[in-house]
Amino acid sequence: MLYGLHGRVSPQPWVLLTPDHSFLSADSAHVGSTIVDNLKKHDVTVIVLEGSLFENDPILATMPTLQAWITREFHKEIQFGGYQIWAVGR
């Protein structure tokens, strides 16, 4: 929704990460790798994670490439309610 409000296209193909709804659970690892490739291609430097805490997110746990990339390249700036803002750098 934020991308639409700002007149921008999402930098990755899955705006909603819901296994067996927007992709098959069996494809989770591939989806995570595809997301990383797209975010890198679009030089994304800030991500907003919604829902569970990043460290315990069951969906990200099935996407090791995405989880490792976020952990390696980003740091958590702030958390408010159910949202976390992660930015490049440490």
Q: Which residues contact 33 (CB under 8 A, 6 or more apart)?
A: 63, 65, 66
Q: Phi and psi (nearest 5°) for 75?
A: -135, 150
Task: Answer whether 0.95 is exceeded by the pTM.
Answer: no
Ordered per-residue pLDDT tens for the chain, 90 residues? 677 788 877 888 777 788 888 889 999 999 999 999 999 999 999 998 887 777 788 888 999 999 999 999 999 999 888 889 999 986
Domain chopping of the chain, boundaries: 2-88
Please give the distance of CA 82 from its chain centroid, rounded to a whole number: 14
Backbone angles phi, psi at 67, to 5 degrees: -60, -45
Residue 34: strand, helix, or coil: helix
Is residue 62 within 8 Å of 89, Cβ to Cβ? no
